[in-house]
Amino acid sequence: MDSLRPLRYFSSPSFVRTDVSAGTLRSQGGTRLVGISEDFLRGFVMACEHETGPATVLILRRCGQFYGAGLARRTEAELSAHLGRALRDCTMNEFQVLVEDLWNGFGLGQLQTDWSCGQSGFLALKLNHGPMQDIGPKGHLSDDMFAGVLEGFFCHFAGDGLTCIQTGDLRMGDREGTTFVLVPMESAQSVHQLISTRVPHSKIVQQLRGE
């Protein structure tokens, strides 16, 4: 357990540092932080709906991609400094602990990643208690913003040419919860076809594995 302590960077009580006189929050590594409430997120989505209508879904995804890519860049720089070695030199087990700790520590939800799928050229993801879980465009249940966040974040490390597709939504009663797959662009159409026929996440993963 002690060997994992340096990897619990974001959930450490010392991660957030408050400067009361300046009214700012910073991470342990000096990155400026801002806290956003659910009311703010709900108001942001409502404003997008009012101004852009059906384009809200695309806007939320693009916002997520931009945030996810920026989060990955800042995370890589800060964690490399914290660990004293390049983040990309970590083992997959270490990287998994760091990424899941990041999501939890930043209040982005509890992220579970099936790294074994990487051998088949994709990743399977599950997000519990995501902040956008109960906030979204009217009549649209998909977590478009976090599909974008996940895509932007992981593409920073894996390279372009991947897309994140939501395969399950807790609000729709999916027993497997809110789930995603990060797949090559050429696999996207087949995944969307499976989703349209209500194929569950686990079955989609099996098909992507070629089972």
**Count of all residues that appear for the chain in the document:** 211
- Which residues on adjacent β-strands are paired with residue 179? 126, 168
211 pLDDT tier (thresholds 50, 70, 90): low
pLDDT tier, 127 (very low <50, low <70, confident <90, very high otherwise): very high
What's the confidence (pLDDT) of residue 153? 96
- Over residues 30-80, the pLDDT tens digits come to 888 888 888 898 898 889 889 998 898 899 999 999 999 999 999 999 999
DSSP state string for 68-90: HHHHHHHHHHHHHHHHTS-GGGS
Q: Over the stretch 103-124, which tens digit does the pLDDT of each residue have?
A: 998 889 999 999 888 889 999 9
Give domain limits for the chain: 40-209
Structure confidence at residue 134 (pLDDT): 75
Architecture of domain 40-209: 2-Layer Sandwich (3.30)
Q: What pLDDT is recorded for position 130?
A: 85
CB 106 within 8 A of CB 130: no
**pLDDT confidence band for 3 (50 / 70 / 90):** low
Find the helix packing angle between 56-83 and 92-105, rounded to 10°: 120
Mean per-residue pLDDT for 159-175? 86
Distances (CA, A) of 29 to 9, 16, 33, 48, 101: 10, 9, 11, 34, 16
Q: Whose CA is closest to 177, among 115, 102, 127?
A: 127
Percentage, residues of the chain above pLDDT 90: 45
Residue 14 has what pLDDT? 82
- Name, in order, each residue with C-beta under 8 angstroms of 15's C-beta and a sequence gap of 6 or more: 9, 27, 28, 105
Q: What is the pLDDT of residue 82?
A: 87
Q: CA 58: distance to chain centroid?
A: 17
Average pLDDT, the chain: 88
> The pTM is what?
0.89
Q: What is the pLDDT of residue 207?
A: 93
